Amino acid sequence: MLFHRENGRHMDTNISKDTLMYIDTFGLDNTVKSKPVLGVDDLLLLLNHHWARDTSTFHSSGTGYNSH
């Protein structure tokens, strides 16, 4: 397994079973082929839009923020 190869030890059996359960439950792709990942530039663009350019608002009630 990748975990054993990268960490030099085996994964706990219960954790391994849970991992496989989630792969099956959510229909995740567990093939060995390469998969697209989010690069650093893409992450910066995403965070910039999320934090700096998003103009949507939300109500402050229930968020723990008290304006008075």
Q: What is the pLDDT of residue 16?
A: 85
CB 29 within 8 A of CB 37: no
Q: Do residues 45 and 51 lie in contact, with contact meaning Cβ atoms separated by under 8 Å?
A: no
Hey, where are the domains in the chain?
2-53
pLDDT at 25: 92
pTM of the full structure: 0.37
Q: Flag residues of the chain having pLDDT under 70.
A: 1, 58-68
**DSSP H helical ranges for the chain:** 2-7, 13-25, 40-48
